[in-house]
Amino acid sequence: MKKQITIVGGGLAGSLLSVYLAKRGFKVDVYERRPDMRKVKISAGRSINLALSVRGIHALKEVGVFDEISKILIPMRGRMVHPLDGEINFQPYSRNPEEYINSVSRGDLNTIMMSAAEEFPDVQYHFNHRCTGMDLETGEARFIDEQTGQVVVAQTQAVIGTDGSASALRSELLKRSGFNYSQVYEDYGYKELSIPSGPEGNFLIEQHALHIWPRKTYMLIALPNMDGSFTVTLFFPMKGDVSFENLDTSEKVQQFFTAQFPDALDLMPGLLDDYFGNPVGSLMTVKCSPWHHKGRVLLLGDAAHAIVPFFGQGMNCAFEDCSVFAGLVDKSGDDWEKIFAECGQERKENTDAIADLAVENFFEMRDHVSDPRYLLMKKIERRLADAFPMRFIPKYEMVSFHRVPYAVAMERGQIQHQILWELTEGIASADEVDWAKAQRLVPERVPPWTWGTL
């Protein structure tokens, strides 16, 4: 008889995981709170589009759905920075033109993965089924059928919770002693706005870039969509003088955008409708451990580690979880207790690292990208990367274009940052850099790169 697994949450990670498991011969039941988004038009939830990079792509290739997904990707080769004063400037993400991130529709991605999963007769989705809890001793997971109100109980060998940042299964683990948990809300929230396509369905600003309007304590970003439009996100303080709380009339919004984002405003005829029609989303970091209880339940994806979106890695990291998990299944079959414990051990320090890197990157995006010292450091960073290709890999490249563990990327990034800081102390241009010092510091402090590429 086939071994049966229950997955709670058929979002991005849950759908991918169901394909990994079906390919390994498991019978998989996926319980998803929402209706089937292929039949009912629903908001796919947070952020309409996402940046997909190498870690996510690797997992999608492993399960064989990347070819299909590659058709809906828009490469973004760098940041297009829109300062308030001064020229718009393009900052490439990598020195290598083959390295870029991709804008993808969350809904389309989820839909393709659900359909890929359902091609396996052993994968069954149960839509409109909301998990209400689980008996950690018996392994029974409980659901409410949102359409009929009926209670449904699933009893399988193991349950995997990919039910997102407000995970019901995590709440179950939280009731147990010995479960460590932290949840930190940012003082910032976000709101989605939009730039429509031009009259011919054309892009009104550069298509192959992630646009940023950095304004020190807040920022606007825009990612391209396949139909020529852009999804724009305002990251903004929740409270205070300049905040969502205060920007509460059409006049104030209009005035604020006229003063702060004049070039974006010209492209946003529906600004006021979007602003007052769309909710303010909150941003938080969740860390917890252990991610499992015995061999009965394991959390993966946002359920185990919700992070802020500023490195564009939440989904990529969730997909990497699934890839690591599948590797452990290949090694240990269905010894769930062993696999669940090893999975948490292998991932935890890395997911903690990307959580911290993501918070750090907020400062970089909203503030530093226009700062002269930052720009000088970036210039020198590129030169050092060219001079030491097997040693000095810029942090952004390590995170987005390599699969080096996040914790290693963070550690190497800190060492490299310190070198750049020391080399730029008291100087104004790259010509003034003490290159002899650079030649000495890099091999002295940065270990050789042994992680290869894709």
Ligand X SMILES: Cc1cc2nc3c(=O)[nH]c(=O)nc-3n(C[C@H](O)[C@H](O)[C@H](O)COP(=O)(O)OP(=O)(O)OC[C@H]3O[C@@H](n4cnc5c(N)ncnc54)[C@H](O)[C@@H]3O)c2cc1C
Residues that bind ligand X (CB under 6 A): 8-14, 31-34, 46-47, 50-51, 130-131, 162-164, 168, 190, 233, 281, 301-303, 309, 312-316, 318
Least distance CB 42 / ligand X (angstroms): 9
Least distance CB 430 / ligand X (angstroms): 31
Phi-psi region of 294 (alpha: psi -120 to 50; beta: other; left: phi over 0): left
Give the Cα separation of 237 and 257 in Å (integer).
Answer: 15
347, 400 Cβ separation under 8 angstroms: no
The kind and range of the H/E element at 397 are helix 395-401
Task: Supply angle C-alpha 183, 187, 190, rounded to 5.
Answer: 100
How far is C-alpha 369 from the geometric centre of its chain's CA atoms? 20
Least distance CB 376 / ligand X (angstroms): 28
Nearer to ligand X, 301 or 413 (CB): 301
Least distance CB 186 / ligand X (angstroms): 11
In 3D, which of 234, 258, 254 has the Cα closest to residue 244? 234
Nearer to ligand X, 312 or 394 (CB): 312
Least distance CB 158 / ligand X (angstroms): 16
* DSSP strand pairing (210-214 vs 78-81): parallel
Give the Cα separation of 12 and 69 in Å (integer).
Answer: 13
Nearer to ligand X, 307 or 385 (CB): 307
**Beta partners for 282?**
189
Nearer to ligand X, 12 or 393 (CB): 12
Backbone angles phi, psi at 212, to 5 degrees: -135, 135
Least distance CB 58 / ligand X (angstroms): 13
Report which residue type is found at 51.
Answer: A
Give the Cα separation of 280 and 401 in Å (integer).
Answer: 31
Nearer to ligand X, 44 or 380 (CB): 44
Nearer to ligand X, 14 or 394 (CB): 14
Nearer to ligand X, 303 or 377 (CB): 303
Least distance CB 281 / ligand X (angstroms): 6
In 3D, which of 222, 167, 158 has the Cα closest to residue 195? 222
How far is C-alpha 263 from the geometric centre of its chain's CA atoms? 27
- Can you state the angle between helices 435-445 and 406-424, rounded to 10 degrees? 160
Nearer to ligand X, 102 or 370 (CB): 102
Least distance CB 56 / ligand X (angstroms): 6
Least distance CB 232 / ligand X (angstroms): 11
Nearer to ligand X, 228 or 281 (CB): 281
Please list, in sequence order, all residues whose beta carbon lies within 8 angstroms of the beta carbon of residue 100, skipping any fewer than 6 positions away: 75, 76, 77, 78, 93, 94, 208
The kind and range of the H/E element at 288 are strand 281-289
